């Protein structure tokens, strides 16, 4: 991994549609932006933040997410998540994450990711099938 800079930022965006409704994703019964979709968008923003620092064969996996979903977002509205790197502890990265729709903040919290080596991680995971 290349030297990483604290306070680096990453973003990810999507548009609310039937694929990310709470009713579709099983996290509620309404046709509004689902909390799991917001979490995934926040993770994507954190991945975007780290992308330029990773070497070949490296990736990160999410290990912790502590968020609040504070406002609903309707169909067709754009949602953007932002992740700011606030801490590095060895191979663990901590982010402040926020999500916004076109009217303001809809979610916030903290997220942690851990650096892994893709081939080794995948091989270890699939060893479970042999047990």
What are the residue ranges spanned by the domains of the chain? 9-130
How many residues in the chain? 131
pLDDT at 11 > cutoff 90: yes
Q: Which pLDDT score is estimated for 80?
A: 98
Q: Which pLDDT score is estimated for 131?
A: 86
Confidence band (pLDDT; 50, 70, 90) for 97?
very high
Tell me: the pLDDT tens digits for 13-50? 999 999 999 999 999 999 999 999 999 999 999 999 99
Segment 104-117 shows an average pLDDT of 98
CA distances from residue 30 to 21, 48, 62, 125 in whole angstroms, order as listed: 7, 29, 27, 35
- In whole angstroms, give the CA distance from residue 83 to residue 9: 6
Active site residues: 35, 43, 69
Q: Which pLDDT score is estimated for 47?
A: 98
Confidence band (pLDDT; 50, 70, 90) for 54?
very high
Q: Which helix (H) or strand (E) holds 97?
A: strand 92-101
pLDDT at 106 > cutoff 90: yes
CATH of domain 9-130: 3.10.129.10
Q: What is the pTM of this model?
A: 0.96
- In whole angstroms, give the CA distance from residue 100 to residue 13: 9
Percent of the chain with pLDDT over 90: 98
Tell me: the pLDDT tens digits for 78-91? 999 999 999 999 99
Question: What does the mean pLDDT of the chain come to?
Answer: 97
């Amino acid at each position: 991994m290349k030297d990483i800079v604290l306070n680096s930022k990453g973003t990810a965006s999507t548009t609310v549609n039937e694929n990310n409704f709470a009713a579709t994703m099983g996290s509620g019964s309404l046709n509004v932006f689902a909390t799991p979709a917001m979490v995934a968008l926040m993770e994507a923003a954190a991945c975007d933040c780290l992308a330029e620092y990773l070497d070949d064969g490296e990736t990160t996996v999410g290990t912790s997410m502590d968020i609040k979903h504070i406002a609903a977002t309707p169909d067709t509205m754009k949602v953007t998540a932002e992740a700011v790197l606030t801490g590095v502890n060895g191979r663990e990265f901590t982010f402040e994450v926020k999500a916004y729709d076109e009217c303001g903040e809809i979610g916030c919290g903290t997220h942690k990711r851990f650096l892994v080596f893709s081939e080794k991680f995948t091989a270890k995971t699939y060893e479970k099938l042999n047990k």
